[in-house]
Amino acid sequence: MSNIIKGQCEATIQLKKLVSMVAQSNSTVLLRGETGCGKDVVAKAIHNSSERKGDLVNVNCAAIPSELLESELFGHEKGAFTGADSRREGRFESSDNGTLFLDEIGDMPLPLQAKLLRAIETRKIQRVGGKNEIELNLRLICATHQNIEKKIDEGHFRADLFYRINVFPIEIPTLSERREDIPVLVDHILDELKKSGSSIPQIDPSAIKALQEYVWPGNVRELRNVIERAAIIFPKKNITSKNVKENLLKINLPDNQDEKNVLWEMTSELTEIKTEKTEMNFLPHPNDYKKWFEMMDKIDLRRHLSEVELNLIEGALKKNKGSVTEASRSLKINRTTLIEKMKKYSIPKLGSD
Ligand SMILES: Nc1ncnc2c1ncn2[C@@H]1O[C@H](COP(=O)(O)OP(=O)(O)OP(=O)(O)O)[C@@H](O)[C@H]1O
Ligand SMILES: [Mg+2]
């Protein structure tokens, strides 16, 4: 079984089993999971555990400008477009006999999706400006952190392409779903830091417990960042749960208002990452707040509740194209109550009713 996927909790063992099962086949794999949960690691594990002799070629569809992506994937012939001075091999060809990893597939532009579908169906490609079909033998792995089904409903992703790539879906667990792996992951990250020459800190069991209580919206990548931060701030020192909470996770609300605002922005970013996955049951459960004071010292309750109210009112108005009557129905409050609240938050009345 793959040894680059660290951890031994139930969810991780299941993941490793799926990886070793699918590695033996040539089926297309779709990796789904939140940011930083290890999609790249799993793609590498599948390639390494397969018998494929060629390379693992990685393309991040979100990072390459859409006008360059086609020639990046399929290559081009000399003179195919202005600036194409010589023939160039695309990433499809480079992954012949190996594995092609199309990361952030949800960001692939629609016109290219049709070409990709054809390439997957026929296992043949044509370079941009080329006439010949080139037959290839490759295993395709796609990954996304987005809700592709929603993209299909909105018309941004082809349903037929989705069915072609969704042959063997693997849902990678979030770090919160595999908290028991945190000690192993911390050891692994410390090992790597040590190998790269850092003076690493000692992590006290109380610190591990504090790390296991945190929510980790940025998953294993965020854990790595925290441990790296620890090595910089506390080289060779013993780290306690107090250090984790106050210095490493930076969640101790300072009194100064400016700093508070910065923190507010930081946490709203984190919430954005978290809500990506829970789009189907959007709202945080009230029980989620129960643990707040185990990790935090304070909360500006009135401000927090106002923010929630303001966002829901704005959302309801947007959804109902500015109609106050309709928005009040969506919010299950009286129209007059909504108008009062809009005044309180200085929300302009845009609709005619
Ligand atoms: N199971 C794991 N074992 C060891 N390291 C891991 C594991 N999962 C993730 N990591 C580490 O966490 C970091 C993030 O992993 P990775 O880049 O694979 O995430 P990702 O899901 O591809 O993120 P993104 O959505 O941002 O592309 C990397 O440093 C990786 O080495
Ligand atoms: Mg990635």
Q: 14-48: per-residue pLDDT in tens?
A: 999 999 999 999 999 999 999 999 999 999 999 99
5 part of a folded domain? no
Look at residues 252, 204, 200, 254 and name the one whose alpha carbon lies nearest to residue 227: 200
3-state DSSP call for residue 170? strand
Q: Are residues 212 and 292 in the same domain?
A: no
As a whole number of angstroms, the distance between CA 57 and CA 138 comes to 10
Q: pTM higher than 0.75 for the full model?
A: no
Task: Tell which one of 12, 16, 37, 46 to mutate to probe ligand 1, the residue whose CB is within 8 A of the most ligand atoms.
Answer: 37
The closest-lying atom of ligand 1 relative to the alpha carbon of residue 41 is: 18
Same domain? 215 vs 319: no
- Total tally of structural domains belonging to the chain: 3
Q: Are residues 20 and 159 in the same domain?
A: yes
Domain that holds residue 78: 10-171
Verify that 21 and 160 share a domain, yes or no: yes
- Looking at 248, 283, 307, which one is the last position of a domain? 248
Of 248, 280, 300, which residue constitutes the final position of a domain?
Answer: 248
Whether residues 158 and 231 fall in one domain: no
Query: Strand 99-103 vs strand 56-60: parallel, antiparallel, or unpaired?
Result: parallel
pLDDT of residue 81: 84
Query: Relative to the CA of 31, which ligand 1 atom is closest?
Result: 21
Are 55 and 144 in the same domain? yes
Pairing type for strands 124-125 and 29-32 reads: unpaired
Q: Are residues 92 and 22 in the same domain?
A: yes
Q: Which of 248, 282, 297 is at the close of a domain?
A: 248
What is the CATH number for 225?
Answer: 1.10.8.60
For residue 41, the CA-to-ligand 2 centroid distance in Å is 8
Q: Where would I find the H helices in the chain?
A: 10-23, 39-49, 66-74, 91-94, 110-122, 148-153, 159-165, 182-195, 205-213, 219-233, 241-243, 257-277, 292-295, 301-319, 324-331, 335-344
Same domain, 164 and 188: no
pLDDT at 171: 96
Low-confidence ranges of the chain (pLDDT < 50): 251-260, 262-264, 267-281
Give distance in angstroms: CA of 16 to centre of ligand 1: 14
Mutate to test the pocket of ligand 1, among 41, 174, 195 (most ligand atoms within 8 A of CB): 41
Predicted confidence at residue 238, as pLDDT, reads 92
37 within ligand 1 shell (Cβ under 6 A): yes
* Digit-coded pLDDT (tens) for 322-334: 999 999 999 999 9
Ligand 1 atom with least separation from CA of 60: 27
